[in-house]
Structures are given as C-alpha cells and as structure tokens.
A = this chain, B = another copy of it.
Amino acid sequence: MLYILITYDINTTSLNGQARLRKVAKVCINYGQRVQNSVFECKVNEAQYRELQHKLLKIIDKNVDSLRFYRLGENYDKKVKHIGAKQTYKVDDPMIL
C-alpha cells in the first residue's frame, strides 16, 4: 500500500472556486482521512492512486489551483508530528475562511 499525503490550494476567489474546493474534499475523503482543512492522508494502492489523481485533475483549474502529492512511505505515522487542535471535518461543511 502507498501512504499519500495530499495538500491543495484551491483559489476560492476564482469562479466556482468554492464548488471545486468542496468537490476536491469529497473525492479525497473516499480515499483517506482529512487531517487539516486542505490536507488528507490516504492509504491507497497504485490503481487507486491513479484513479484519485485522475478524479482530482478533472475537478481543479490547473491555472489557479494547486495540488501536491507526497509519497510518505511505510510506517508514516512515525514520521508525523501533530501539535494543536484536531478538527473533525464534515465534508459538506461550508469552508470557514
């Protein structure tokens, strides 16, 4: 399995930015857990990873939005340190900006 960290910046000032933001979160939640507003940790196989990228690519506007995928490798949980509040996210929550 692959441990993939997804971070994204969706330009919410552009047309349909808020809608793209919600769609990206709705796709990502099917592949992993949301750990921050625009950060997901996903445990996927290669096929799922390709599928995930493909779906996200169809949503974002490449001119104004930014997607980053980090391969964290095995036992990634030992490589992560969290400090502060742990939000619980409902995907349909309006983004608190």
In whole angstroms, what is the CA distance A84 to B68 when docked?
Answer: 9
- Say yes or no: A62 contacts B83, CB within 8 Å: yes
Which residue on B lies nearest to A13, using beta carbons? B96
- Say yes or no: A67 contacts B82, CB within 8 Å: yes
* Chain A contact residues: helix, strand, loop or mixed: mixed
> What number of A residues sit within 8 Å (CB to CB) of B?
41
Name the B residues within 8 Å of A56 (CB-CB): 83
- Say yes or no: A70 contacts B70, CB within 8 Å: yes
In whole angstroms, what is the CA distance A67 to B35 when docked?
Answer: 10
- Say yes or no: B38 contacts A63, CB within 8 Å: no
Residue ranges of A at the interface with B (Cβ–Cβ < 8 Å):
5, 7-9, 11-13, 35-39, 53, 56-57, 60-73, 76, 79-87, 96-97
* 7 A–B contacts, CB within 8 A, in A order: A9-B87, A36-B38, A60-B84, A66-B85, A68-B83, A69-B81, A97-B97
